A and B are shown apart, each in its own frame.
Chain A
Amino acid sequence: MSPTRLRTLLAVSLVATLFTAACGGSGGARSAASGEPVHGGTLTFYDPIQYAAWVPTASIWSNSNVAGNVAERLIWQDPKTGDFKPWLAQSWEISDDKLSYTFKLRSGVTFSNGDPLDAETVKLNFDQHGLGDEKLGIPKDSFWTDYAGTDVVDAQTVKVRITKPNAAFLQIISNYRASSILGKPFLKLDLAGQGQLTNWVATGPFTVEKVDGTTGVTLKHRDDYNWAPEGSAHQGKAYLERIVYKSVPEASTRVGALQSGEAQISRNIAPYDEQTIVDGGGTVIGIPVQGEVNSLKIQLDTGAPTQDVQVRLALQAATDRNEINKTVLSPNYPVPSSALVKGTPFRGDASSYLTHDLAKATSLLEAAGWRAGADGIRVKDAERLEFEIWVAPYYQVAQAVLELLQAQWKKAGVDLRIRSASQAEYTAVEAAAAKSTDDDWTFEQGQTSTAEANVLRVSLGAARYNALRFLTPDPTLESLLDAQAVTFDPAQRKAAVQKVEDRIFEQAYIIPLYDETQVFGLAPSVHGFATESTGRTWLYDTWLDE
């Protein structure tokens, strides 16, 4: 490591420590405010990715950074504690059989077109999520499983019914991409209509003023907004007058713009750019994205040597996460010690499975019959222990992390071949691999962000996303995933999630790389910056000093 690099890391870690200390060491997303907040001003936000279809269920980061400030949910999930707080619903009750949820809506809430928030509108929203609408081209929302329907109890009360108990259901109601409440005119539109942000009619503190193709969005605050989620730093209208979002693909422009004062917030700051921003007087904030850690998911539908659990465990042991963190990442990306990111509710502890142990890795491979070959790469029955991996284009640090992993695995006699592709090519190859059961697609780098331990069931469950591509589901894992979802007592739930983690890592189904993190660069004038529970910006409390 060069001295410059080391100095950079030291400085960055110092700043990060100071920052963490300032906000109480939590996974908190609030920058220290100085002075009294002021109203007014335009905040310019640079994002690397172009904006795409604005359907409420879109997960694309650039969209969700905007959409969350326009549309709201019944419940607010506190990003620090994971607790649920009243928002558009002032209170809720869960039936004893856990099959119906009754929400009392807050009174006085209006949509930006003047319509009041009422039970019927909520029902229309949930029906569209839970059932989809074939005629309008709207697919069923994958978060809304086992949906039985919503009853309008009275004008301000709705009862949502599900067919199976689900400990994660309240979180779904609070999730930005599963349960945003939009106005009636919006719900009548077909998929293309709903995909246009200018058509959004919602209750949020900001409304859409202007959309420039795929490169920019301008939001303006609502003067009559007065229903901020409980726990907000203030009430009433948002501090910022306007937010200008702009997609700026050039990383150097996003960094430079913070220094020149053109932008106040830039998203996706690369580890090597963090110091530049700090030197320019700005702040770098890494926000852990609650949900799954960023990991390699071993694809079990291939004929690769990773079918053997000993090989999987060996790869796990050959992976040095501390070195990854120190060499190619920054302190903003925590070293993973679970299948879930730090701060995710009910997260278990898997640190004992994730220690780097090269001796263990080699002895496991020896035991599995893989012997060192002439070039140092292990061989068994004339087959080399080599894998192909495609760099996931969604993660800006993916390439650097994989290159280091390649060097680490080589020490254990494993040849990892890295292939890079454009996003279109990547998704095409990935889709082909998903269909075929005889391919070289052994690992998939990925993570799903939801601030709930049940994200593991959504992602790994064979009947859900099936990210491990089980041909025959692992019955133990399946029953553990299902069990945690119907455990409502917090202590028991935590134990149930731990059992899931134990199963995942005893089998080494996933190889965690780092805690998924969003890194934002902030100009010195930005105060009160915050995100919602999965790292998407919530700029209601944010203000600018002049």
Chain B
Amino acid sequence: MGRYLIRRLGQALLVLWAAYSLSFVLLSALPGDAISNRIASPDSGLTGESGAVLLRYYGLDQPLWEQYLRGIGRALQGDLGLSLHTAQPVRDLLADTLPSTLALTGLALVVGILLAAVIALAINYLPSARARGLFSGVPSLFASVPTFVVGVLALQYLSFKAGLIPSVDDGSLSALLAPAVTLGLVIAAPLAQVFAASIRTTRAQPFVHVLHAKGAGEGYIFGKDVLRNSSLPVLTLLGLACGELIAGSVVTESVFARDGVGNLVVGAVNTQDLPVVQGVVLLSTVTYVLVNLAVDVAFPFIDPRVLVGATS
């Protein structure tokens, strides 16, 4: 288990470095940068000489490789640099916006899991075959409607027409609910599909037939055996779904005008604010790596057979 963890951590660091470097290369390849764009903007009034003061201040007059090395060096010390657009330390910007995004994605995760469970159970256990068929169409429906459509519809009807929820974040739970449900729908679809299929496969296994033959009830079998056996693929997918949540929060936070990492990155990409984009890339990479590490570590506890394959 120890060596397994060390190898995973090494991989994680490699992924972090690659993400950082790739985002640097991609954004540097674009013409211009946040400060040059600001200087060039028709209303900026900055002339060549004052513009040069700004470029020097942000170190943008240095060669690219020097900017890159300095950036990496600082990142290693936990310093992510200054936002070129708001002049705030990127670390502070992330710290300010992360709680809001965590609340959103956390609640969305709960909503997504609950929805997925309900749908998967309905597909497998509803008494009427017609109802089961109806529910089996739900995941594809959820998956095919884009997030922003759900968001805009929710705003139109729940907020502007019915006045049930505020349309932008005012810190209340009701303001969080609509975006969380919107976002939850996105991950509910694949989770439900995989969970439903997994339950179906497990229920077809011989040992379930044996349990039935012994007279165990459907509920007992599900709680004791089916759930555990069908949750592994769901868990793997859950790790991936967290990535989906981060991506989805970009759209959701924009539509609902919520402060958060997603909104931060939209603004940063629009203004070519390289340090902020890199900060968010690093943060999402860390999250992604951690979640998947947690999933991998949780595996042996659910199914000890996994470890047999991993250490051999």
Contacts and interface: CB of A to CB of B under 8 A. Distances in A.
The 7 closest A-B pairs by CB, nearest first: A195-B87, A139-B50, A137-B57, A428-B32, A256-B160, A142-B45, A431-B40
A492 interface: no
A246 interface: yes
Contacts of A422: 270
B159 A246 contact: no
Contact of B56 (A137, A215, A246, A458): A137
A52 B53 contact: no
Nearest to A59: B43
Interface stretch (B137-145, B199-207, B251-259, B302-310): B251-259
Interface string B42-54: 1111110111011
A214 B258 CA distance: 10
A223 to B, nearest CB: 25
A247 B257 contact: yes
Contacts of B85: 52-53, 214
B86 A465 contact: no
B37 A427 contact: yes
B36 A431 contact: yes
A216 B171 CA distance: 12
B88 interface: yes
19 contacts: A52-B85, A52-B86, A53-B87, A59-B43, A139-B53, A140-B50, A143-B45, A192-B89, A196-B86, A212-B96, A257-B160, A257-B168, A260-B160, A262-B159, A423-B270, A424-B37, A434-B40, A449-B43, A465-B47
Contacts of B152: 250, 252
Contacts of B156: 252, 256
B46 A139 contact: yes
A59 B44 contact: yes
Interface size class of B (residues with CB under 8 A): 35 or more
A379 to B, nearest CB: 33
B47 A142 contact: yes
A138 interface: yes
Interface of B: 30-32, 36-37, 39-47, 49-51, 53-54, 56-57, 82, 85-89, 93, 96-97, 152, 155-156, 159-160, 163, 166-168, 170, 254-255, 257-259, 263-264, 267, 269-272
Interface size class of A (residues with CB under 8 A): 35 or more
A448 interface: yes
Interface in A283-314: none
Contacts of A149: none
Contact of B41 (A137, A143, A249, A427): A427
Contacts, number: 163
Contact of B259 (A132, A141, A215): A215
A192 B271 contact: no
A136 B50 CA distance: 13
Interface in A404-435: 422-424, 427-432, 434
Interface of A: 46, 50-55, 57, 59, 132, 134, 137-143, 190-196, 212-216, 246-250, 252-253, 256-257, 259-262, 392, 394, 422-424, 427-432, 434, 444, 446-449, 458, 464-465, 467
Given A192-B82, A424-B272, A427-B41, 4 more contacts: A134-B53, A214-B93, A394-B42, A430-B40
A263 B201 CA distance: 53
